[in-house]
């Protein structure tokens, strides 16, 4: 395949923009990453990224030294020399709603300076009701500047934090949304850009592209809340959600992905897109009971976890609780909408002493500054010393590899509530722990208050809390065999380790 180099500018160097800029440069294009934040530009010039993404620092360093990526402010020169300009600025207001102020400002700044033969591509996730006006807005800005019309396309991203580079370089599909492209020039430019990606290219109206993006996230969120509701059923009827999902996953119509039960979804995308859709729907008089329930279940998971952890700790003022994991998922330092923050706040409100640890130093610093009263320490061991109970909130691999038998001796009581179903119940129980999780065999928690160090007894809660029944006893050996032979289970594991 011959080299096809395109001069591209990417406006907005956050998670979406910086990954796009680096990957485009890796494909051989000449890229200028543009941001108005001078501090961010200076740090990038010194090789410091504003967030952690596996492999990104190395990728950025490589393409910069090959002189295919440089960083600049939003100057007319940086914009005017590009054949294609990608816009990747934020569109949520940080409070469960959409905002279009940033993208409008950004367009006003760049569109007048774009070359007459260039193409504008919006990579940001856009509110669906903004889509129709987008080409008009761009056209008005061009006319006002006395310039020719340019093609306006959207190109939603489907990358996940933690595996963003692979998701970008090896996409499942490439969606091109057409806002204004009468001669197909914009589409052929985007096809040139993605020439090295071997994925189906779907060309559709920009409104369809916007809903494809949002629809995918809404569906993923729905799957997670479904798994959480299923976990509740499993607890009630004595089943194990992991085995149930593995059994269901053999059906290709269902599949194994995004059915991991636990404290629910966080991050900058799923929670916002669910809440924005629910909010928007109510504003225009639409009824979206399914999505409202997805949101409700997600909130309930955090509350249930807090309740279980609190009870597991002995439910007394001053109980010391270790929180393992702060980020909204592993392999990121992102705390946006991280369940850990709500969980820590709720426990502190109950007068618990909450000591948290996360492998990401930046997440530790941010969490300590965000949650009043939260103690943050530098190792899992420090968090667990003298703890009355531990709650696993983020399934960092490090936590599954801990020597729980040894660490249990440092805790006041060996009690773990696994909010991600990430630890082996058998191994934890063998290490002397009272272990509970979501929808897993033996998920019940009640621990005698004042119980001395060592394994705490499991008993049913009755009057003062929900009745949590033990799941049916099962044959551990048979279960292991089931895991070993289960294709679906191994797919599930792969998905879990790559997510």
Q: Is 375 in a helix, a strand, or coil?
A: strand
Task: Answer yes or no whether residue 51 interacts with ligand UGA by CB under 6 A.
Answer: no
H helix count then E strand count, the chain: 21, 14
* Piece of the chain touching ligand UGA by CB under 6 A; list 5-13, 85-93, 104-112, 260-268: 260-268
Q: How far is CA 496 from CA 258, 262, 329, 396, 406, in A?
A: 8, 13, 11, 11, 27
Q: Considering the complex, what minimum distance in angstroms separates the CB of residue 155 from ligand UGA?
A: 12
Number of Cβ within a 10 Å radius of residue 438: 28
Three-state SS at 424: coil
DSSP label of 121: E
Taking the complex as a whole, how short is the minimal distance between the CB of residue 171 and ligand UGA, in angstroms?
10
Q: Which of 89, 210, 269, 393 is catalytic?
A: 269
Nearer to ligand UGA by C-beta: 189 or 270? 270
Give 432's DSSP letter: T
Q: Does 384 bind ligand UGA (CB under 6 A)?
A: no
Using CB under 6 A, pick the residue from 35, 53, 157, 235 that binds ligand UGA.
157
Which of 26, 35, 161, 388: binder of ligand UGA (CB under 6 A)? 161
- 499 touching ligand UGA, by CB under 6 A: yes
Size of the site for ligand UGA (CB under 6 A): 21
* Shortest spacing between CB 146 and ligand UGA, in angstroms: 37
**Shortest spacing between CB 125 and ligand UGA, in angstroms:** 6
Q: Count Cβ atoms within 10 A of the Cβ of residue 330 and give its class: 0-12 exposed, 13-18 middle, 19 or more buried.
A: buried
Among 124, 159, 275, 277, binds ligand UGA (CB under 6 A): 159
As a whole number of angstroms, the distance between CA 274 and CA 90 comes to 16
Given 64, 68, 243, 260, the residue binding ligand UGA (CB under 6 A) = 260
Distance CA 147, CA 127 (A): 27
Which of 154, 217, 277, 313 touches ligand UGA (CB under 6 A)?
217
DSSP string, 234-276: HHHHT--HHHHHHHHHTSTTT-STT---SS---SSSHHHHHHH
For ligand UGA, the closer CB: 68 or 420: 420
Are the CB atoms for 373 and 397 separated by under 8 Å?
A: no
**Contact between residue 339 and residue 302 where contact means Cβ atoms under 8 Å apart:** yes
- Which positions ≥6 away from 433 have C-beta within 8 Å? 404, 408, 414, 415, 416, 455
- Taking the complex as a whole, the smallest distance from the CB of residue 167 to ligand UGA amounts, in Å, to 7
Which of 265, 357, 396, 435 lies at the binding interface for ligand UGA (CB under 6 A)?
A: 265
The C-alpha atoms of residue 250 and residue 448 are separated, in whole angstroms, by: 41
Which residue, 250 or 258, is less far from ligand UGA as judged by CB?
Answer: 258
- Kindly provide the b/e burial profile for residues 147-183, where b requires at least 16 CB atoms within 10 angstroms of the residue's own CB: eeebbbbbbbbebbbbbbbebbeebeebbbbbbbbee
Binding mask 240-259 for ligand UGA (x = CB under 6 A): ------------------xx
Q: State which residue, 65 or 95, has the beta carbon closest to ligand UGA.
A: 95
Q: Mark the segment that binds ligand UGA (CB under 6 A) among 26-34, 216-224, 306-314, 315-323.
A: 216-224
What lies within 8 Å, CB to CB, of 89 at 6+ separation is: 11, 12, 14, 17, 102, 103, 106, 124
Least distance to ligand UGA, CB of residue 484, Å: 22
Minimum gap (Å) between residue 159 Cβ and ligand UGA = 5
**Of 9 and 273, which has the nearer Cβ to ligand UGA?**
273
CB burial readout 225-237, b (16+ within 10 A) else e:
bbbbbbbbebbee
Residue with tokens 């600049």: 72
Q: Which of 224, 234, 278, 447 binds ligand UGA (CB under 6 A)?
A: 224
* Interaction of residue 264 with ligand UGA, rule CB under 6 A: yes
Dist CA 256 CA 481 (whole Å): 19
23 has catalytic annotation: no
In the list 37, 128, 158, 405, the residue contacting ligand UGA (rule: CB under 6 A) is 158
Tell me the per-residue interface mask from 413 to 442 with ligand UGA, x by CB under 6 A, - otherwise.
------------------------------
308 vs 329 by CB, closer to ligand UGA: 329
Phi, then psi, of 186 in degrees rounded to 5: -65, -45
What are residue 98's DSSP bridge partners? Answer: 92
Q: Which is nearer to ligand UGA, 151 or 264 (CB)?
A: 264
Residue with tokens 């640890």: 357
Q: Which of 33, 90, 256, 267 binds ligand UGA (CB under 6 A)?
A: 267
Is 331 one of the binding residues for ligand UGA (CB under 6 A)? no
Positions in the binding site for ligand UGA (CB under 6 A)? 157-161, 217, 220, 224, 258-260, 262, 264-267, 269-270, 328-329, 499
| Active-site residue set | 269
């Amino acid at each position: 395949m011959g080299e096809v180099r395109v001069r591209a500018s990417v406006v907005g160097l956050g998670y979406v923009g910086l990954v796009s800029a680096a990957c485009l440069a890796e494909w051989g294009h000449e890229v200028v990453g543009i941001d108005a934040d001078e501090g961010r530009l200076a740090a990038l010039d010194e090789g410091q990224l504003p967030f952690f993404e596996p492999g990104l620092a190395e990728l950025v360093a490589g393409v910069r030294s090959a002189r295919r990526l440089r960083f600049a402010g939003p100057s007319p020169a940086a914009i005017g020399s590009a054949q294609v300009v990608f816009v990747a600025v934020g569109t949520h207001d940080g409070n469960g709603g959409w905002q279009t102020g940033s993208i409008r400002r950004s367009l006003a700044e760049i569109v007048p300076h774009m070359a007459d033969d260039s193409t504008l591509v919006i990579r940001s996730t856009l509110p669906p009701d903004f889509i129709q006006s987008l080409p008009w807005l761009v056209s008005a800005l061009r006319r006002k500047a006395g310039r020719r019309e340019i093609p306006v396309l959207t190109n939603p991203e489907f990358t996940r934090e933690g595996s963003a580079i692979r998701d970008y370089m090896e996409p499942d599909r490439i969606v091109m949304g057409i806002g204004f492209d009468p001669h197909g020039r914009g589409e052929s430019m985007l096809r040139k850009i993605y020439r090295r990606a071997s994925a189906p290219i779907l060309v559709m109206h920009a409104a369809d592209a916007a809903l494809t993006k949002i629809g995918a996230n809404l569906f993923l969120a729905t799957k997670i809340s479904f798994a959480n509701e299923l976990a509740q059923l499993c607890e009630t009827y004595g089943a194990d959600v992991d085995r149930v999902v593995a059994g269901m996953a053999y059906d290709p119509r269902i599949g194994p992905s995004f059915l991991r039960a636990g404290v629910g979804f966080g991050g900058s995308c799923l929670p916002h897109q669910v809440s924005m859709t629910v909010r928007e729907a109510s504003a225009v008089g639409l009824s979206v009971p399914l999505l409202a329930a997805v949101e409700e279940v997600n909130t309930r998971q955090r509350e249930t976890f807090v309740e279980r952890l609190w009870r597991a700790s002995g439910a007394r003022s001053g109980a010391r609780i270790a929180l393992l994991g702060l980020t909204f998922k592993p392999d990121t330092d992102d705390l946006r909408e991280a369940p850990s923050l709500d969980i820590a706040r709720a426990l502190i409100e109950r007068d618990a002493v909450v000591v948290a640890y996360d492998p990401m130093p930046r997440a530790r610093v941010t969490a300590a500054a965000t949650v009043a009263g939260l103690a943050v320490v530098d190792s899992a061991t420090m968090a667990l010393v003298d703890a009355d109970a531990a709650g696993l909130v983020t399934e960092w691999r490090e936590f599954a590899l801990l020597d729980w038998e040894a660490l249990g001796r440092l805790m006041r009581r060996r009690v773990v509530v696994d909010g991600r179903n990430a630890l082996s119940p058998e191994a934890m129980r063998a290490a002397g722990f009272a272990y509970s999780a979501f929808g897993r065999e033996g998920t019940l928690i009640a621990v005698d208050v004042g119980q001395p160090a060592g394994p705490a007894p499991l008993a049913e809660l009755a009057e003062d809390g929900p009745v949590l029944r033990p799941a049916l006893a099962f044959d551990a050996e048979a279960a292991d065999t089931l895991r070993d032979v289960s294709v679906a289970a191994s797919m599930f594991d792969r998905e879990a380790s790559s997510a």
